[in-house]
Amino acid sequence: MTPPSFTVIGTPFSTFTRTITLALTYKGITFNQVRVVPHSDTAYEHHPFGFLSTLVIHELNGQKVDLKLRESQAITRYIDRVGPEPTLTIADGDGHAVVAEQMWEFVSFVGAYGELRCILYLEANAFPLWKIKPRVTATDQGTPSANVPKPSTTSDEPGGSGKPT
């Protein structure tokens, strides 16, 4: 079966949109992306609550359908089914997960609690076998964040000027 053509509706800054576009890219499936922000007219056109992301499936089994599939977990499972190789699923006991459901647990954590919070947790506790690179910030020229000097006072601190010193 030839994978259908797709359009991803969502902003590149969304963890959910990135999950979908990474899955499509990893599997070598071509797609278009309409960049929108949540709760915009376009977002509401594709999702009843104006959320992101939506995958529009333009063709299914040779017929034009323009079917809208929502929620990143459902979308990535669909992508994994229509483009079976390489798989997006972690096999039980392959050295990265005790059970494959740990991957979906992590996807749910990211959705509920935010990407950075989950990465910090993983670095500290959950998966010491994973090789997670040190975090970097956009202003530190790619050096580990721990090496970036921190401002000594801000307006949040007593006596702070409001500007980093």
Task: Report residue 10's pLDDT band, with 50, 70 and 90 as the boundaries.
Answer: very high
Q: What is the CA 96 to chain-centroid distance, rounded?
A: 19
Beta pairing partners, 34: 9
Whether 67 is in a domain gets the answer yes
Do 97 and 78 belong to one domain? no
Find the mean pLDDT for residues 4-11.
89
- 23-67: per-residue pLDDT in tens? 999 899 999 999 999 999 999 999 999 998 999 999 988 889 999
Quick one: which H or E segment has residue 104? helix 101-113
CATH number at residue 14: 3.40.30.10
Find the mean pLDDT for residues 151-165.
43
- Of the chain, the end-to-end C-alpha distance in Å amounts to 61
Do 112 and 31 belong to one domain? no
Q: Residue 130 is part of which domain span?
A: 90-136
pLDDT of 80 higher than 80 = yes
Do 69 and 126 belong to one domain? no
Last residue of a domain, one of 88, 105, 120: 88
Q: What is the model's pLDDT at position 7?
A: 95
Q: Which residues neighbour 158 within 8 Å (Cβ) at sequence distance 6 or greater?
A: none
Distance CA 124, CA 10 (A): 31
Distance CA 133, CA 123 (A): 9
| Total-model pTM | 0.59
Quick one: which H or E segment has residue 17? helix 15-26
Per DSSP, the chain holds a count of helices (H) and strands (E) of 5, 4
Q: What is the model's pLDDT at position 55?
A: 96
Q: What is the model's pLDDT at position 149?
A: 46
